[in-house]
């Protein structure tokens, strides 16, 4: 399966994704699900995918190929974030339409979900959840985060902590704990993780990979696990 | 939806269930999902249901009617817990077979899941998860708890706390927090809750209803919520 989180906060954006894919429990692999597109200083986007891996990879290839061949429209000349999200949505639709037409479908779900966020110079950052149908919703102050994939195990901690005004540092910590809870309960979500923190108006994004043996992540997991048990024991 | 938990612990058994049912978000109602069967001093069982409400209620009616009409076999003359679970499983199969035969099914899922636990004098307590197909699995020291219904939001805390040797008091507290997390994230699981604690060899069960305004539950929810945020802020 997959688990991805993206948050739209006062100070900027947070992205996190796992790397495990599976087609049944007997076919496990590792693939990057976070993809960055950027013209530093002018615009930058992060795109996180869940669902059909062929569709997801096709999507990224098509978006890059649009840029390389200067096809119109493309992510680097979209007038604003809304138009950029439309470009992504239209590509998803086109890929799924192509894959499902005139073929055996064999019960396969060709759909993929996308979290797409970033900033274009002159506009504030924005974050979208783009559906397999190509339409999308935008994060707002009331609901400042989106999840795709195996979202339930890791949702309670987000609901308790994340507000629009949560700072980036706390928000990333919360995302990591949400991943920890999810990985505890579902083997099909797994390390390593890809994470990216975007501060408003930086107009540049870089992602970091957190490996299984990452010292900070291990300390965080242990402190949380011990803390939860302690807190639990101290309850009335 | 529904959320039910049952635990098989060193000291006894724990049962908890919500009372919300829904057929779409525009049709919400309240029904008891925990049913007790007992001959105090000789045997006692708790039966928790999720899934199709008509099937669940039919199941309880049939089991009670078997007892009233002294049909053979029935829960009060089953030789052991395994046989008692078989009686429940056979009834579920019979109800679903009856409802699906020679009828429009209209895409309805007639299935129900059951958590069935208790004790018969002379045997230790046992706990089963009975499937719509009538077969079942039993809780063991490795996996001492079962959930049915909307299980994911409330699973991380169970995974962190519940062991076979967790005491009954702590286990019930953990069940309540698991419900709190679930009700935060899914509106289709709701108050009031029914809970029952069974201490080994008591051979008698009573359930308690926890209402929305229950003082202890409110304190527990608040302490947990505050504690989690505090713990989170104190993390490295």
Q: Judge whether A225 is closer than 8 Å to chain B, CB to CB.
A: yes
Rounded to the nearest integer, the mean pLDDT of chain A is 94
CB B19 within 8 A of CB B128: no
- What local confidence, expressed as pLDDT, does residue B1 receive? 82
- What local confidence, expressed as pLDDT, does residue A126 receive? 98
Q: CA of A226 to nearest chain B CA: how many angstroms apart?
A: 9
Q: Do A216 and B223 touch (CB under 8 A)?
A: no
| Predicted ipTM of the assembly | 0.81
Looking at beta carbons, which residues of chain A come within 8 Å of B235? 173, 177, 220, 223-224, 227
- What local confidence, expressed as pLDDT, does residue B204 receive? 96
Q: Do A227 and B234 touch (CB under 8 A)?
A: yes
Q: Judge whether A160 is closer than 8 Å to chain B, CB to CB.
A: yes
At what angle are helices A53-68 and A81-100 packed, to 10 degrees?
120
Q: How confident is the model at residue B106 (pLDDT cuts 50, 70, 90)?
A: confident
Mean pLDDT on B79-93: 97
Give per-residue pLDDT as tens, A92-144.
Answer: 999 999 988 877 777 788 999 999 999 999 999 999 999 999 999 999 999 99
Rounded to the nearest integer, the mean pLDDT of chain B is 94
* Stronger pLDDT, A4 or B29, i.e. the higher one: A4
Looking at beta carbons, which residues of chain B come within 8 Å of A219? 236
Q: Which chain B residue has the Cα nearest residue A155?
A: B153
Q: Do B160 and A235 touch (CB under 8 A)?
A: no
Give per-residue pLDDT as tens, B5-34.
Answer: 999 999 999 999 999 988 877 888 889 999
Q: How confident is the model at residue B68 (pLDDT cuts 50, 70, 90)?
A: very high
Question: What is the C-alpha radius of gyration for chain B, rounded to an integer number of angstroms?
Answer: 18
Of chain B, the end-to-end C-alpha distance in Å amounts to 38
CB A208 within 8 A of CB A194: yes
Which of B219, B199, B197 lies closest to B208, judged by CA? B197
Q: How confident is the model at residue B202 (pLDDT cuts 50, 70, 90)?
A: very high
- What local confidence, expressed as pLDDT, does residue A49 receive? 97
pLDDT above 90 (res B216): yes
Q: What is the 3-state secondary structure (H, E, C) of A70-127?
A: CCCCCCCCCCCHHHHHHHHHHHHHHHHHHHHCCCCCCCCCCCEEEEEEEEECCCCCEE
Which of A95, A102, A15, A16 lies closest to A63, judged by CA? A95
Give dist(CA B225, CA B219) in Å, integer.
Answer: 10
| Domains in chain B, CATH or no CATH each | 3-234 (3.60.20.10)
- What local confidence, expressed as pLDDT, does residue B11 receive? 97
- What local confidence, expressed as pLDDT, does residue B47 receive? 98
Give per-residue pLDDT as tens, A201-223.
Answer: 999 999 999 999 999 999 999 99
Q: How confident is the model at residue A77 (pLDDT cuts 50, 70, 90)?
A: very high
Q: Which of A23-37, A99-113, B67-81 has the lowest mean pLDDT?
A: A99-113
CB B88 within 8 A of CB B47: yes
């Amino acid at each position: 399966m997959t688990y991805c989180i993206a948050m739209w906060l006062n100070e900027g954006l947070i992205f996190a994704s796992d790397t495990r894919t599976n087609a049944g429990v007997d076919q496990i692999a590792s693939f990057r699900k976070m993809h960055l597109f950027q013209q530093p200083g002018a615009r930058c986007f992060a795109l996180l995918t869940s669902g059909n891996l062929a569709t997801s990879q096709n999507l990224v290839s098509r978006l890059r190929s649009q840029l390389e061949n200067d096809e119109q429209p493309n992510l680097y000349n979209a007038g604003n974030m809304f138009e950029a999200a439309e470009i992504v949505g239209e590509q998803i639709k086109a890929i799924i339409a192509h894959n499902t037409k005139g073929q055996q479908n064999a019960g396969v779900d060709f759909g993929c979900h996308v979290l797409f966020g970033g900033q274009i110079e002159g506009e504030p950052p924005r974050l979208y959840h783009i559906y397999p149908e190509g339409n999308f919703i935008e994060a707002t102050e009331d609901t400042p985060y989106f999840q795709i994939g195996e979202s339930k195990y890791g949702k309670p901690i987000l609901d308790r902590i994340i507000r629009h005004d949560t700072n980036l540092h706390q928000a990333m910590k919360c995302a990591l704990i949400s991943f920890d809870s999810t990985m505890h309960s579902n083997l099909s979500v797994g390390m390593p993780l890809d994470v990216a923190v975007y501060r408003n108006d930086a107009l540049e994004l870089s992602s970091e990979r957190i490996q299984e043996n990452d010292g900070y992540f291990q300390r965080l997991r242990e402190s949380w696990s011990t803390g939860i048990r302690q807190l639990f024991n101290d309850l009335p």
